[in-house]
Amino acid sequence: MSALAWTAAGSLVAWLWLLLGQGFFWRTDVRLPPRRDPGDWPSVCVVVPARDEAAVLPVSLPALLGQDYPGRAEVFLVDDGSTDGTGEVARELARRRGGLPLTVVTPGEPPAGWTGKLWAVRHGIGEARARAPEYLLLTDADIAHAPDSLRTLVAAARTGGFDVVSQMARLRVESFWERLVVPAFVYFFAQLYPFRWIGRRGARTAAAAGGCVLLRAEAAERARIPDAIRHAVIDDVALARAVRDSGGRLWLGLADRMDSVRPYPRLRDLWRMVSRSAYAQLRHSPSLLLGTVAGLAVVYLVPPVALATGILGGATTAGALGAGAWLVMAGTYVPMLRYYRQPLWLAPLLPFTAFLYLLMTVDSAVQHHRGRGAAWKGRTYARPDAVPDEG
């Protein structure tokens, strides 16, 4: 066989292993586990870090304030240096809509060694501790919760004995680029962190979805959240690892009635979302970057190249192997497209989307080595090797 045929064979083997051996990551049926209402509903404090979120709060905040929760609950929105009147918008919405009590907190600029979001979370948790809650709900300002979201999260945590219950909100898919990139973003995340593995006792895989994390307050204290992860750019995964390493149990799955209202209408918006943290995911390692680029090329790009070569150049074996790998690849993507209610003709385009992610990852590394660090909402965070460790 030719070198291309052997490479296509390797790609097919990789896809068969991903299909059967990677925690069935491609299935989308990991939803909130079985639960029952507790006899006494614990107190919950909701912490919402918000920076320049005035545009999305009118959609998301009323749903959060209107939670149908039988126990005591309170919302702390941390206005993280906004310039668009985020805090004022939040106060006015609470005044007009009512619901759960709302407190707006305004911290100063984060000191060296802290990412802005985690600095905001720290202040929110600090305010919440005075209420001595049993649980903390860490949720982003763009997440629109169903009316029973909080009670179902708490019931699931109590019933299953979980220290973290996290749901990945359904992201917006309205523009062409959102349809092309967003379902793949969740698909790739699940491939890295198979949801089925996370919920097992003694699991080595740890992850959470930062838009919705119900965290037991005692577990947060034990894991020193957020101080222990103050420099993390990928804060949700870092939080999950810290809780796991301190003996906590985790659960992560897809949401049914929890949606992100943040728009990413242009490719450059999505590009920034991915590239700001892609190299951090690889621990800023050039060798891991090279391995990732090679892996993406072999697993996602070789199958269509081999098939095209088989059709146009008569390389029958390479073409057949490439077609088989591409078929398995597209088949594993179909459940995610159905979850996002997208047309199935997007499934064969996954190699193109993977190529975009490859370029975003390389761009993330280039920006890092130019000394720019991770950028988000007008802030650029220092490179990890430039941040002093304060203990």
Query: Does the bond joining 226 to the residue before it have cis omega, within 30 degrees of 0?
Result: yes
The yes-or-no verdict on residue 341 having pLDDT over 80 is yes
Q: What is the mean pLDDT of residues 34-52?
A: 96
Question: What is the spatial distance between Cα 219 and Cα 207, in angstroms, rounded to a whole number?
Answer: 15
The yes-or-no verdict on residue 27 having pLDDT over 50 is yes
CB 369 within 8 A of CB 61: no
What is the SS3 assignment for 280?
helix
The yes-or-no verdict on residue 282 having pLDDT over 70 is yes
Position 192 scores a pLDDT of 96
Question: What is the spatial distance between Cα 263 and Cα 381, in angstroms, rounded to a whole number?
Answer: 23
Nearby residues of 327 by Cβ (< 8 Å), 6 or more positions away: none
Position 231 scores a pLDDT of 87
Position 381 scores a pLDDT of 59
Helix axes 316-339, 176-192, angle to 10 degrees: 100
The yes-or-no verdict on residue 342 having pLDDT over 90 is yes
Position 218 scores a pLDDT of 97
The yes-or-no verdict on residue 266 having pLDDT over 60 is yes
Does residue 233 or residue 258 have the better pLDDT? 258
Question: What is the spatial distance between Cα 134 and Cα 131, in angstroms, rounded to a whole number?
Answer: 9
Residue in 141, 109, 103 with CA at minimum distance from that of residue 124: 103
If you average pLDDT over every residue of the chain, what do you get? 93
Q: What is the mean pLDDT of residues 198-211?
A: 93
Burial 228-244 (b: 16+ CB within 10 A, else e): bbbbbbbbbbbbbbbbb
Q: What is the mean pLDDT of residues 331-352?
A: 98
Report pLDDT digits (tens) over 117-157. Answer: 899 999 999 999 999 999 999 999 999 999 999 999 999 99
Position 368 scores a pLDDT of 87
Q: How confident is the model at residue 373 (pLDDT cuts 50, 70, 90)?
A: low
Position 388 scores a pLDDT of 38
Question: What is the spatial distance between Cα 267 and Cα 180, in angstroms, rounded to a whole number?
Answer: 10
Query: What are 241's two structure tokens?
Result: 């690892």
Identify the helix (H) or strand (E) that includes residue 213: strand 212-216
Report pLDDT digits (tens) over 150-198. Answer: 999 999 999 999 999 999 999 999 999 999 999 999 999 999 999 999 9
Name the β-bridge partners of 302: none
Q: How confident is the model at residue 377 (pLDDT cuts 50, 70, 90)?
A: low
- Percent of the chain's residues with pLDDT above 90: 86
Longest dimension (CA), the chain: 72
